[in-house]
Structure formats: C-alpha cells, structure tokens
Amino acid sequence: MSFLPMSKREMQHLGWEYIDIIIITGDAYVDHPSFGAAVIGRILESRGYRVGIIAQPDVNSVASFQQLGQPRLFFGITAGNMDSMINHYTAQKKLRHNDAYSPDGIAGLRPDRATFVYTNLVKRIYKGVPVVIGGIEASLRRIAHYDYWQDKVRNSILADSKADILVYGMGEKPICNIAAELAQGTNVAEIQDIPSTVVFCNNPHNSNPELESEEIILPKAETCKDKQTFYEMTKLFTEHSSSRVMYQMNGGRLLRHNPPEQALYTDEMDEIYDLPYMYAPHPKYKGKTIPAFEQIKSSITSHRGCYGGCSFCAIACHQGRKIQSRSQASIIREANRMKGTISDVGGPTANMYASRCKLGFPASCTRRSCLYPKICPSLIMAHGEQLKLLSKISQIDAIKHVYIASGIRHDMLENEDKYILEIATKYTGGRLKLAPEHVSDKVLRLMGKPSIKSYELFCEKFCKAIHKEGVKRQVIPYIIIGHPGTGIEDAKALREWLVKNNIHVEQVQEFTPTPMSISTCMYYTKLDFETGKEIEVPTPGQIREQKKLAMWK
C-alpha cells in the first residue's frame, strides 16, 4: 500500500507517466476515511483510475497547481472538510488564528472561498480541462444562498466559479459515474442527469410532456435578494429537493439540480471504509501535527446521515436523512487495527446507528424530522444493535476502553433505560455531551428541538444509573445563543434554568448563519419558517448580552 501521489517523483515511483484525476483540497492530505479527499481518491482508485492529490496549493504560485501536470480526465476540487469561511471566521466575523486541518494548526494555508479561488486558477491554467467541485462548501452553496460574511444572497457556487459540474452530498457514486462518462469520451457538457449533481442545463425546455409536472422552477437567483422571495425559494427547495429535478437561473445561465443519489447499502458502505487507507498524514508532514487527525485518529465512523431535522443544521441537506450504516464486521475489522482507547464509535448522532424507516423514507413523506415534534411511529430504532457492536469491540484484546463522543439524541431514549445504563457506566469517558440547545419552548420550536423536559428526564435516569454503579460521570449541555427568534426574556429563562440546576457552562455556541440551513433562512428573512410570521433576530450586541447571561459563573 502507498499514499496517493502528491508529486511527480511519487508518480515515477509508482511507474506512472500520467494521472487520470487530480484532487485539489484545502486540507492537508490525511489518508483516512474521515477526510473527504482521501475517500474520493481511494474510491476512484478502486475503479482503476490513477489519482493524485494537491493539498493546500499556494494560490500565488502557478507551479503549485502544476506539480502533477494535467489530468487525463478532470480536476476534482474541494475546500476540504469544512466550509472555508466557517474555518476562517468566528460567528462575530473575527479571524481565527488556527486551522485544525493544516499542519501544526497553521492558519492561512487556504484562501477564503477556497472552492471558488482554486477553480478559477485551474480554469485559467488548464483551459478546456473539466472541473468538478464538491465537498461541504460546494454542497451547501449549490443554489442561490444567503452569505453571512458578505450579508447578501449569492448565486450558486457552480455559476460563480464556472466549474463544469457540482457534486453535492457524500459523492462516491456520482464522482465515479462522472469519471466513467468522461473516460468513455462523453463531453462534460452532455453529462446532465447524474443524481447528486448540479449542472448547467443544455435543454431548458423539457421535451417529454409527461415529465413536465415533475420539474420544479425555483425563483431566479437575482430575485432572491428580496426576502419574501428567498423565503418562498427555500420552502420550495426544502419540500422538493429530495425527489424532483429543479431548475434555477443563476448569473444568466439555467442550472439543473438533480435529486440526490440513493443512499448507500451496507455492503457499499463497507467497501468504502475497507479501502486501503494508510490511516496517517502524508509523509511530507513528518514532524508536524495535524490537529483534526489527532482528534479523530482513535475514532471509528459507524454510519452517515441524520433524521433529526434541526433547523440550524445542514447534515441532512448534505448526507441525507436516511441512515447509512456499516456492518458490524466492517467496524470490527477497523477496530482490530487499533490499540488502547477508541474515543468514539459514531456518526452525526451516535445512537442512530442501524436505525431505519419501515416505509423506506418515501419521497411522499413531508416530515423534515423523524423526531420532532414527536417521534414518527414508522421510525425503527436499533439501540440494541449498537450495544452489541460496542460490546464486541470491547472484547478485542488490544482495546482497553470504548467511548461514545459524537453525541446522542436524548429524545430517542425515553423508554431505553438499558441503553442509558450502558452508556452511563461503560461508554462515557467522564463527560457525556448532549445538545438541549436552549430551554425556551418558543426558541426550541424554531430550532426543531424537543422540550427541555426530555433532556431533564434523560439526566435523571443517567444520574440514577451512575449512582447505582458507583461511578462518576457528568452530562454537559451544548447551548446555542443568538438563534433567530431568541429575545432577552428567552436568554433570562436560560440563565434561570442554568442557575437552578447549578450548571456552569464553559462555553456556548453563537449561532452562525451557514448556507442553506432553515435557521439561516429565518435569520435573513426575519420570518418564522413554519408560519411565515415575523420574528425577532438578535443583533451582535444582543447576542453578546445573551452570552453573558448564559455564562453566569
């Protein structure tokens, strides 16, 4: 096994005279399945393509983009595991001084709007070579969207960057389909209907009358500057994006937004996580530490997707609502190559592993959340399966401890006392972090979160479990302040609850309007997403006041 090449010298070592696909990423190259560029590179490699990586190229140096030459098929460009603007700036728009995805945490090794900048440079240097953009930055900017950092509605990043195709979501299937089309000689402009892609539309008028009713026309991007229009566009997109082809005019060109790719089956998930990763940073970083890798190197991803439907979260928009789980055998194979402590076995929400909808998440379902306002009766949870998995991992000789650190949904555990006991006494490493987010019913409704009573009930059962077993554990609440609709009275109610329960939060999360979330729509339009009625949106000064109230100690 070897790393994907990052230089011509490494290509020569592999006996390669050319490369099929070059992936450019804003992150350092870590060959681990928690890093998107590595996953895409490895899945393409498994299909027989020669793949190279250019990590964090110097945007002031043309040579930095030429280190692997010109790819035979296309460039794949991603800002990395994070949106570059969120990576660079705090909720108060202050510049961050470190970057967890860079060697030694050094900031400034990727530009603002990295996908846009990299694509423009590649288009200028390699005229005529197709460019496919993807990753979280592209995925959440795929249609007209509100940009918090410029305080304006921007076009789709596909239109702004002039890339050829945008892949949204977890892109293994679409990127392989694109590669296959280009390898067969298909012109990139003719690739129109691959799921999980956004493309420039070649045929704006549907030639099949029977399909005409299936198409959704979103308001033109330029008209979405109007807040009512933006609200209506977001409602339309939220309702139909998972099942219908949609069109939108962006910068004078018509974009076609294809429905998402089908969720991966268990054997497909296993294939991805069983690829020959090196589970380490590339040797060029020898002697340097990549903080993001240090954080996840002892963790295991068990599944993807989230059906929680929180208004401020874009996971479902990116990974999908349907839970895509690995088999226990695949997870145990990964655990067998580890020693000591496994810091986490999870996904966006750890206790959604192996759960499913008995109806198969039909396109006809209008619910955004399977949990809110009440748990859907079609949801089949699988806490027993997760406990069996954790038990099997714990029995591996080289493993001393197994913990859950990626968070759990306490509202799924009302009647799961055994699960709470096991998590409390075996799989919590001192502190269990939960996310009630707030205490105000008004704010929680806007967030799409359950009543604080659900959190209190879980904590009561958790404390009983640890007292019974004589172990010391803590539950730490995640709190969001400044969410649209949060007034000073809500902030005071939060403070009173924290004081009453003697909870001293060390930090709180200030709401950041990230592209394409429902909360961001409410922030920009000042309209309740469900009712269309006006709501209060706190100013930066009011957010600072709310923060002081929450951090009362």
First CA to last CA distance, the chain: 53
Region class of 48: left (phi > 0), else alpha (psi between -120 and 50), else beta: left
Strand 197-200 with 145-147, pairing = unpaired
Which domains does the chain carry?
Answer: 8-199+252-257 (3.40.50.280), 298-550 (3.80.30.20)
- Summary count for the chain: helices (H), strands (E): 19, 24
Query: b/e per residue, 87-118, with b = 16+ CB within 10 A?
Result: bbbebeeeeeeebbbbbebeeebbbebbbbbb
Reading the chain (553 residues) residue by residue, the pLDDT tens digits are 799 999 999 999 999 999 999 999 999 999 999 999 999 999 999 999 999 999 999 999 999 999 999 999 999 999 999 999 999 999 999 999 999 999 999 999 999 999 999 999 999 999 999 999 999 999 999 999 999 999 999 999 999 999 999 999 999 999 999 999 999 999 999 999 999 999 999 865 554 444 445 689 999 999 999 999 999 999 999 999 999 999 999 989 999 999 999 999 999 999 999 999 999 999 999 999 999 999 999 999 999 999 999 999 988 889 989 999 999 999 999 999 999 999 999 999 999 999 999 999 888 888 999 999 999 999 999 999 999 999 999 999 999 999 999 889 999 999 999 999 999 999 998 899 899 999 999 999 999 999 999 999 999 999 999 999 999 999 999 999 999 999 999 999 999 999 999 999 888 999 999 999 999 999 999 999 999 999 999 999 999 999 999 998 7
